[in-house]
A = this chain, B = another copy of it.
Amino acid sequence: MAANRNGPTPPENATLADVAEHVGVSARTVSRVVNNQGGCTAETRDRILAAIDELGYRPNLMARGLSKRRSDTIGLVSIAMLDPFFPEFADGVERAASDLGRTMFLASTGGDLVRQQSALKSMVGHGVEGAIVFPAAHTVGDLVDFAAKEMPIIIVNDDVQGVRISSVSAEIQAGAEMAVNHLLRGGRKRVAALLDRGARNAPRPARRELGYRNALEAEGLGPDQHLIIDVDNSLEGGRVGLDEALAQPNPPDALFAYNDLIAIGALQRALDRGISVPDDLAIVGFDDIEMCQAMTPMLTSVRVDRDQLGRVAVDMIRTLVEEGSVPSRRLPVELVVRASAP
């Protein structure tokens, strides 16, 4: 009678068969009710629902998944949850998924290929409908293969389209162009760019850099290589980047940053060094995280609707499941002008 070391064992969950027996129908009928498939009288339905309630029946999703060979779940594979881009995106994904009755798997890879693979394999094993992936560097090709062989994939912040794979991103290049244009129209002559070291190593051209160059060229300005600076994607990266920019013989009067984290780091260091922002140096960030509005001066940024991006990604997964392909999408961005670059 003594409880074992696991303490009181939780009661076994009621099964379809238990409910069926309790009501006096077949398990198949209970299943139909649980899945709202109709084909039974209102009275049977009510009796079954009552029994479900009474017995505390809860469907075994593993059994259902095994039988249907799919589990009504979607996977989200991030690179870094600490990146400020992530939470709002994940929130959009979660909401959209839960609106569809899907549960969400989450994994984080740290940008490591091996972890990305094992996360995806595990998700396949769990029967996810598809996965939304922030791809580790140089893995888009792998993902295309994986999608073709295994399951639908939506890639975030890149551009792909193929069998069971597509991508969602923001109009990053256009956003960068808008940002730099804004700086130039504000009379700035020397605009530095603080770009993410990791992203620049990617095979595909860095879209922020393209936008930056385009904007400069449109004004007849050739980019000064000394003003294009690779930094870590962090506050500290921004700080270091600012120092580096100002160490140039011909220092910049404006700064375009890869994202807000870098921009904020740069802004902080600038203030620290007694540089007046925006008078001496205008700064524009990217993504428009909430903290932009907490800075003094507030940070001008390119707004990316990350929540919407997440929702769209989920929607695209659905289409991918149903149609096998879906056009990749790019959501518009918006320049939010604040005091750091008025």
Find the B residue at minimum CB distance from A127.
B62
List chain B residues, Cβ under 8 A from A259. Answer: none
Q: Give the residue of B7, B108, B115 whose beta carbon is less than 8 angstroms from that of A325.
A: B7
Number of interface residues of A (CB under 8 A): 69
The reply to whether A103 and B126 contact each other, CB–CB distance below 8 Å, is: yes
Whether a CB of chain B sits under 8 angstroms from the CB of A88 is yes
Whether a CB of chain B sits under 8 angstroms from the CB of A124 is yes
Find the B residue at minimum CB distance from A151.
B10
List chain B residues, Cβ under 8 A from A121. Answer: 58
The reply to whether B103 and A322 contact each other, CB–CB distance below 8 Å, is: no
Q: A88-B82, A290-B235, A294-B235 are in contact. Are A5 and B323 (CB under 8 A)?
A: yes
Whether a CB of chain B sits under 8 angstroms from the CB of A27 is no
Q: Which of A26-67 contact B (CB under 8 A)?
A: 56, 58-63, 65-66
List chain B residues, Cβ under 8 A from A235. Answer: 290, 293-294
A118 and B99 alpha carbons, distance in the complex (Å): 12
Q: Give the residue among A10, A56, A58 with the most B Cβ atoms within 10 A.
A: A10
Stretch at the interface among A185-193, A203-211, A265-273: A265-273
List chain B residues, Cβ under 8 A from A56. Answer: 149
Instruction: Give the 7 A-B CB pairs with smallest separation, nearest first.
Output: A7-B324, A61-B125, A106-B106, A62-B65, A6-B324, A81-B87, A62-B66
